[in-house]
A and B are shown apart, each in its own frame.
Chain A
Amino acid sequence: MNLVAAQIVNGLAIGMLYAVMALGLSIIKGLLNVPNFAHGALFAVGAYVCYTLSTIGAPFAVALIGAFSGAALLGFLIERFGIANLTGGSYLLQVLFLFGTALVIEQILVLIYGTTGVSLVPPAMLGGAMDLGFMFLPRYLVFCALVGAFSIVAVWLLIEKTRIGSSIRAGIERREMVQCLGIDIGTLLTLGFALGAGMAGLAGGIALPLLGANATSGNDMMAIAFVVLVLGGLGSLYGAVAAGILIGVAQSLTTLVAPSASTLLIYVIMTVVLLIGPKGLFGER
């Protein structure tokens, strides 16, 4: 029982990471309609920025903000100077551009930090475990779930309650109409991509004390985020959040019975959902 409870908490924390990753992808997909193949590399950038800032003595909160900002800045550059200039050509060129960018980012990370990977001990305040009487709860897992939830709520507020958010929603809905209303769609797309990229970086930062990082560790995350996005249904921006948490918990519970099958389980769930409900769990436009 205790074990199950512990795995559920663990699953919630991991699931929040998936949800943050997938929500970023979802925003980028909605606005630009490209699968962001650099999402995994941006995740790694976030992890390494967080690592570097922590090792030079910055507080963990600052390191996380850095992880978000670093990846968002990169995302800004990728969109403004890359994707925005490729809109006239074939769709595949944008995808290939993102693939090439992912290679370059990963290799630069290898160049700076080497191939062995890094890890980080969570700050003292977040280390250790809380005694709940019936189980011990690692503090960092709780923190992970809370920061994930907090950032998802922040993005939700940004998108649903602010002027720029309503422009983003309108941009997803009817791009030409938004342009006709005099809103600068180019800037909107750049901001949307930067936001999505920033979320990948934030997920990388949060995940660092939990999973460690190396230059290519984002690719597994990216694959799972793609699955989560498909499961959530591409039409709904927030379906990804629910699907992410669901996957995280399901994966964690599987570790109890068959540890090595827990990653495979994600793909099994995806296959089953696609076969019986092709629109994903929360519908598709």
Chain B
Amino acid sequence: MSATSAATPPRERTTGVAGGPGGPRRRGSTLLRHLAVVAVAGLLLVGVSYAVEPFRNFQLATVAAYLCATAGLTVLTGLNGQLSLGHGALMATGAYTVALCQNAFYDRGVTGGLLLLVSLAAAVVATVAVGAVVGVAAARLRGPYLAGVTLAVAVVVPALTVTFDGVFNGEQGLSVPVEPPPLALGVYFPYERWQLWIAGAATLLALLLLANLVRSRYGRTFRAVRDDEVAARLAGIHVARTQVLAFVVSAATAGLGGALLAVLAQSVSPGAFGLTLSLFLLMAVVIGGLGRLTGAVWGAVMLVALPDLSHSVTEQLTLPAAAAQRLEGNLPLAIFGITLVVVMLAAPGGVQGLLSRFGRALLARWRVGRS
């Protein structure tokens, strides 16, 4: 061990703090490395889609949709330091765009497997536009004022769908017609598996791009602006432009996540994108591990697992129907809130922070055992 470390050139020496928040330096192509991870994840996902029952496929697809949003939010809040209470509304923007596009295609009798791609792309574009407007406002604001503006967005956007009910059909919302799986996959191909494939592919693409960006100088710039705006400006960084960029990137992924949710549910209504969703997203990202894409995965899993869990819990209890319904509705929020407090007190790095600390400890022990 000592012989190898003496052989490494002096530049490779480190003081033991491995990499820091940016992770250790890595050699080779960023793209190839990330593509390899995505390919493995994709293969795993296909395998799992055959191994589990349709309902689990649907749940996993929902996790993927939420993951788009949490991954974007963790980049914005964790890496760039901008708090957003409005990501639920950005998801709604994507969801309604995809609904309007799909309906427009179907009303005109245009069909084809690639139309969904067009609609999803349109959802991202629309959310980028909304995100740019909110982002420009956000770049001028700090702390509680930023929270206030994004909160307003979270409240206003769902309300708009009721105000303009000619287009958005009010509280009822819109249905989202989606094509069945292509016949080439066989007549008995489960629809839920197809949903997981669509959501999984879109999310893996979004994660690939996010991971590339976080690794690039833009990721570093995001973090520099978060840590010290004055020093960032003196280092040649246009702070406001960087903040708008982070907001737009984050909005794009939130829009894609919302669009995927709409495609999965085959419907969209304002109730699904209320303020609670925005709060849930933020809590999920913090509990998962703020600023880490892997943390966003844990957060997205929790977003789907918790309501499911609270459903099973209330089923176990023998309660009057009304009380059971109320409990089921509020239990996830309560569990999330308590978990958040516990995580903040016990492990500010979130689930992912705990896991990587655990992993490092194991690795260190393994190395000691070998030498």
A and B associate:
no
